[in-house]
């Protein structure tokens, strides 16, 4: 998270830093959004794995 920066993200997105700051508010908010997004990805993966495991009827 230390290397995560509004400047780098703005450049990658092709927007201005001030525009991105207006949307996010602060670097802390950027970090929180990143953590929330990662948690959502984790939950989707966990759900998919549990669904597939529940469908297994016999060991391989």
Domain boundaries, the chain: 6-55
For residue range 1-54, list pLDDT tens digits in order: 667 788 888 899 999 989 988 888 888 888 898 899 999 999 999 999 999 999
Tell me what pLDDT residue 49 has.
95
Close Cβ partners of 29 (under 8 Å, ≥ 6 residues apart): none
Q: How confident is the model at residue 60 (pLDDT cuts 50, 70, 90)?
A: low
For residues 10 and 19, the answer to whether their CB atoms sit within 8 Å is yes
Q: Residue by residue, what is the 3-state secondary structure of the chain?
A: CCCCCHHHHHHHHCCCHHHHHHHHCCHHHHHHHHHHHHHHHHHHHHHHHHHHHHHCCCCC
Assessment of whether the complete model's pTM goes beyond 0.85? no
Tokens representing 36 are 């929330």
* pLDDT at position 2: 64
pLDDT of residue 6: 84
């Amino acid at each position: 998270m230390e290397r995560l920066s509004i400047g780098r993200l703005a450049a990658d997105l092709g927007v201005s830093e001030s525009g991105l700051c207006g949307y996010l508010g602060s670097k802390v908010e950027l970090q929180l959004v990143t953590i929330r997004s990662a948690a959502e990805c984790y939950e989707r993966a966990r759900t998919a794995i549990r669904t597939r495991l529940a469908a297994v009827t016999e060991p391989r």
